[in-house]
Each structure stands twice: as structure tokens, then as C-alpha cells.
Amino acid sequence: METGLFSYPTPFTPPTTEEDELSSLRLARSRRVGATTFHRLLKDHGSAAAALAALPAIARSAGSSDYLPCPIAQAQAELAAGRRAGAQLLLPGGPGYPADLLAFADAPPILWAMGKVDLLARPRVAVVGARNASSLGQRMAQKLAEEMGRAGFAVVSGLARGIDAAAHRAALPTGTIAVMAGGIDVIYPTENTELARRIAAEGLRLAELPPGTEPQARHFPQRNRIIAALSRATLVVEAAAGSGSLLTARMALDYGREVMAVPGHPMDARASGCNMLIRDGATLIRGAEDVLEAMGMAPMPRAERTAAPTQTPAPPPKPALAGLRAKLLSLLGPAPTPEETVIRDLGIDAATLSRELVGLEIEGEVTRHPGGFLSRG
């Protein structure tokens, strides 16, 4: 379906948008125009059309006299192929395109989208990890995805085997976004064909490359950067050292996004990447509660934080007793109280407290506990 430059195959699309789409697509597909250069050219020249017009001159001044931008026909063919596949084009600054992506110099110049584009309006979190995941890892991915979905997040992943697929599947009811390494209509791996179909129907598929593109090794890091950029946090579940999930995590860090990882035993190779990330500063997560807590979205979720002796509220001072000793005793109860708390509450220094305690301990009024805790009796 090749048409002329100003033909409008979709009568409901205003011509200016159609022109923008075509020019943006041509600019994005022009040889050696990467994502960062795309945005730079757009900024320098005001529009994709103007940048396109300037390209040959820029190339000439750089010594390439034979440079040609992407032909109109090629861009028209891509537009047609995308629409045949049932996808729509999202352009930076245009409807549907996530505005927060534009904070990154290498935000995708175009995104093909298939499914519920409004999922992009939600807060997003990535759940990624090993393809050869253990069943424990898949269960963890599923639990994280379900719970983050229930907490209102769209769950982003890469449609790979293992962790990715488990996360997508678990988040189908609440909303999931698959970012594809190849074309929007090329399902890889083929075993995820049915899952991909359901994601297009109930969730959202995104692809940066032209429809029909078979994914190649070099496409995966490019795709991973989109997962990282889209997601407020990247949660890594089971990842071996040197794996693609770690690259996604590294990009998330470069983007200033949060990285969180599920730990595992050091003798389990599938945990090595996650443990490494935690050593390097990623947040250790045991479940969605930890994720939400790290995002400041939930109170301390677990009762079982590192055990500190519980502290009973100090009883009101007894008026019948007087002096430092009486105040000190009034502050203490049967449950151990940290010495620092007592020092602060009495407004005295540690030496004064220590002097007072010698008598009180011998008297049997106060008991000291390891770690600097005090109690009555």
C-alpha cells in the first residue's frame, strides 16, 4: 500500500498529524539517526520535516556527500504495515506517548502501540528476570506482578520466557505492557504467541522498530532501555551475572530510576545477578510491600522488622517522688527502654545517668540489659 506524499489513507486523521507521522517516521528511520540525534535534530530545526530537509546538508558538512534520508515510500509502507497489524503510532509530545519518557535524551523517537494505550497513563513498574527461571522465581514474579497490579501499577516487561512471561500473565487482569525487541507484530519467542495476543487484547504491546522486524541480539539492549525508562522502578527477579536483566537494571540506574531485586542464596547461580545488584545498592525486596515501602507508598509493612525490644509508653511521673532518681524510675517500666531515650527524656548526660544507675542497680530498682537497655526491677 504505497501512496503519494499527501494522500490520506485514514480520513479521520487530520492532515497535519499525518504529515507529522510521516516526517517523524522518515527522520527516525534515516540512516544513522539514533534516538538522541532524532531529538536533537527536532529541537534544532523545530519540526521533523525541517530536520529532514536539513539532513543532507549536515551529512555533507560531515563529509558524506551521498547521504540520503529515509525515502517517503519506505515510511509510508511502514505506516501502512503498522495499521494493517492493528497498531497505532505514538509520537513524542503527541497523544498517548508517555511524557515522562522525554526526560531521557534517548527516548524512543516513535512507538508502535497495540492495545490499551491508556495503560501508559498509569504509574508503571517493570518486573524482569531470567528466562530459565526456577518455579520459585516464577512464583515470586507472579506475586509481585499481581500485587503491584492491585496497587494500581501497570506491569512492564519484555515478553521473554520465564520471569517476564510470568509477570505479564499475572498482571493481565490489572494491566500489563510488553515492550517488544522486534516489530510489534513479530512474537518472540513463539511459545508466547497466545500470551502476546492476550496482551494486545487486554493490555498493551509496544515496539520501537518497524512492523515485521525480526528481533536480533543488538535489539534487546535497545528494547531494555525502554523498559527501564518506562518504569518508576525495575524489579529484578532471578538474574544470572551478566544477564540482560542486569543490563536493564543498569540502564534504570543510569536513568535515575529505582532498581530493586529479590535476593537468593549465594550458591544459587540464578540469584547471583540480584545479589550483586543489592550489594551495589539496589533495594532488597521480599514482596510488593517492600516495593511500595521503598516508593514511600506504604507504612512499615511487616511486624517482624529487626527485633528491638518493645517499649511501653512511660507512665506519667508520680508527684509523690522527687529528684532525678524518681524521674528516672518513672520513665522506666518492665519492658527494656534504651538508655539514650532516658538520657534524652531527662535532659541529662550519660555520665550522670551512669552514676545514678550504679545505686539503682545495686538497690535492685533497675536492671540493665545488653545493648544499653534498662527496665524496672
Interface stretch with a second copy, choices 86-94, 110-118, 159-167, 298-306 (CB under 8 A): 298-306
284 binds a second copy (CB under 8 A): yes
Query: Shortest gap between Cβ of 36 and a second copy (angstroms)?
Result: 6
- 44 vs 191, beta carbon nearer a second copy: 44
Draw the binding track, 180-219, toward a second copy (x: CB under 8 A; -: no contact): ----------------------------------------
322 binds a second copy (CB under 8 A): no
265 binds a second copy (CB under 8 A): yes
List the one residue from 120, 126, 165, 357 that touches a second copy (CB under 8 A).
357
Residues in 120-139 that interact with a second copy by CB under 8 A: 136, 139
C-alpha dihedral over 193, 194, 199, 201, to 10 degrees? 120
List the one residue from 49, 50, 72, 247 that touches a second copy (CB under 8 A).
247
The set of residues, in sequence order, having a beta carbon less than 8 Å from that of 160 and lying 6+ positions away, is: 131, 189, 192
Contacts 24+ apart (CB under 8 A), 217-223: 219/181, 219/182, 220/158, 220/181, 220/244, 221/247, 221/251, 222/181, 223/158, 223/179, 223/180, 223/181
Is 210 in a helix, a strand, or coil? coil
355 binds a second copy (CB under 8 A): yes
250 binds a second copy (CB under 8 A): yes
329 binds a second copy (CB under 8 A): no
Query: Residue 309: is the preceding peptide bond cis (ω within 30°)?
Result: no
- 201 vs 350, beta carbon nearer a second copy: 350
Q: At what angle do helices 244-254 and 219-230 cross, to 10 degrees?
A: 50
289 binds a second copy (CB under 8 A): no
314 binds a second copy (CB under 8 A): no
Query: Shortest gap between Cβ of 57 and a second copy (angstroms)?
Result: 11
146 binds a second copy (CB under 8 A): no
Q: At what angle do helices 15-29 and 72-84 cross, to 10 degrees?
A: 110
- 49 vs 80, beta carbon nearer a second copy: 49
How far is it, in rounded angstroms, from Cα 234 to Cα 257? 8
Query: Shortest gap between Cβ of 32 and a second copy (angstroms)?
Result: 5
Interface stretch with a second copy, choices 93-101, 124-132, 148-156, 240-248 (CB under 8 A): 240-248
Residues in 100-119 that interact with a second copy by CB under 8 A: 105-106
Draw the binding track, 64-103, toward a second copy (x: CB under 8 A; -: no contact): x--x------------------------------------
Which residue in the block uniquely carries the three cell numbers 529515509? 70
List strand residue ranges (DSSP E) for the chain, in order: 88-90, 111-115, 124-129, 154-157, 176-180, 204-207, 233-237, 258-261, 283-284, 337-338, 366-369, 373-376
Q: At what angle do helices 350-363 and 323-331 cross, to 10 degrees?
A: 80
150 binds a second copy (CB under 8 A): no
Size of the site for a second copy (CB under 8 A): 78
CA nearest neighbour of 143 among 109, 159, 166: 166
**Of how many residues is the chain composed?**
377
Query: Shortest gap between Cβ of 315 and a second copy (angstroms)?
Result: 21
- 188 vs 373, beta carbon nearer a second copy: 373
Give Rg (Cα) of the chain: 29
Specify the pairing of strand 176-180 against strand 88-90: unpaired
Which residue in the block uniquely carries the three cell numbers 510470568? 166
CA nearest neighbour of 231 among 208, 255, 209, 207: 255
List the one residue from 79, 127, 251, 288 that touches a second copy (CB under 8 A).
251
Residues in 14-73 that interact with a second copy by CB under 8 A: 31-37, 40-41, 44, 55, 58-59, 61-64, 67
- 7 vs 306, beta carbon nearer a second copy: 306
Going from the C-alpha of 86 to that of each of 5, 79, 115, 159, the distances in angstroms are: 22, 11, 9, 19
- 142 vs 213, beta carbon nearer a second copy: 142
